[in-house]
């Protein structure tokens, strides 16, 4: 009798574990992506331009006239900021991969002056 109870308990535990794994696997939003984050002391406009001039990024930008290069700035508590570089598609209001984030202590003067007090830049 004890063996039967132990087997039933193991089967129940196995079913629970499988259910948890399946829920985690299929509940993940398809819009969640891992974004490469690079920590740097300083970020300059030339770094941003270099990202968007990569052949794969440039090809995605040129694939549609509705796509544009975008840089966003987020302030952090410690005085540093996070710059996110991405391609935005105006036709369906979506971001196209690749995305890249830079966590920086400060912005170089050229990039800082472009951002000013804005949180987003559209690069032409």
pLDDT at 29 over 50: no
Beta strands across the sheet bearing 36-43:
36-43, 94-107, 81-89, 67-75, 120-123
pLDDT band with cut points at 50, 70 and 90 for residue 11: low
- Give the separation between CA 108 and CA 124, rounded to whole angstroms: 20
pTM of the shown model: 0.69
Q: Is the pLDDT of residue 23 over 60?
A: no
Q: Which pLDDT score is estimated for 17?
A: 63
Distance CA 85, CA 120 (A): 10
pLDDT tens track for 100-110: 999 999 889 99
């Amino acid at each position: 009798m004890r063996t039967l109870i132990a087997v039933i308990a193991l089967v129940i535990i196995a079913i629970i574990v499988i259910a948890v794994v399946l829920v985690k696997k299929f509940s993940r939003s398809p819009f969640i992506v891992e974004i490469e984050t690079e920590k740097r002391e300083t970020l300059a406009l030339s770094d941003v331009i270099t990202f968007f001039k990569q052949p794969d990024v440039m090809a995605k930008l040129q694939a549609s006239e509705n796509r544009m290069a975008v840089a966003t700035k987020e302030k952090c508590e410690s005085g540093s900021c996070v710059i996110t570089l991405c391609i935005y598609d105006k036709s369906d209001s979506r971001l196209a991969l690749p995305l890249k984030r830079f966590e920086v202590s400060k912005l170089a003067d050229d990039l800082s002056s472009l951002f000013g007090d804005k949180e987003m830049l559209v690069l032409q």
